[in-house]
Structure 1
């Protein structure tokens, strides 16, 4: 697993352990070196992020600039923006997988 890189706010992750395994989410907070706060705007809202151990996550190489900008500007991000960012990310990832990249 590639957990040697540091998680960043706005980074996409795939959950690989727990009830939400297989789902994608966005890092909306960093607790410490082991834990991050995740939200997907759907089951896991920004106001009640899920605290997740990094060993249960697969960090994706993509960071959502929309989420980062929104957090920088107002300290929060709307659930709609989270859902949109994740669906856009999944769409572009699926296209790469189909092409075999």
Structure 2
């Protein structure tokens, strides 16, 4: 049995299935061992996160410390911070792809 990494709040994840496939989101809450709540501050606002099966997500190694800190301090995070976390991730992913010559 393959052991999947455990999702963490603030972690970025790429959606593998559904109409949001290939979009990047931030995990803003862990529902249980199968489901998480994701938002990106754009299509999915913090107040209306999407409930997603972890198996349909490709967890990324990046965790947004800003999002984690904000959630710890106030229990919420602004949509701007979510958008920022996603754009930083996408920029670094694109930079890495260019280095590999893809």
The 5-angstrom pairing of residues 10-29 of structure 1 reads 10-29=10-29
Q: CA RMSD in A?
A: 1.4
Tell me the TM-score normalised to structure 2 length: 0.94
The CA deviation string for residues 55-77 of structure 1, in whole angstroms up to 9 with x for no partner, is: 11000011000000110111100
Tell me the TM-score normalised to structure 1 length: 0.95
Q: Contact between 1:14 and 1:25, CA under 8 Å: does it hold in 2?
A: yes
Gap runs ≥5 in structure 1:
none
Gap runs ≥5 in structure 2:
none
**Offset at 1:3?**
6.4
Q: Kindly tell me the number of residue pairs found equivalent between the two proteins.
A: 100
The 5-angstrom pairing of residues 64-83 of structure 1 reads 64-83=64-83
4+ residue stretches of structure 1 with deviation over 4 A?
A: none
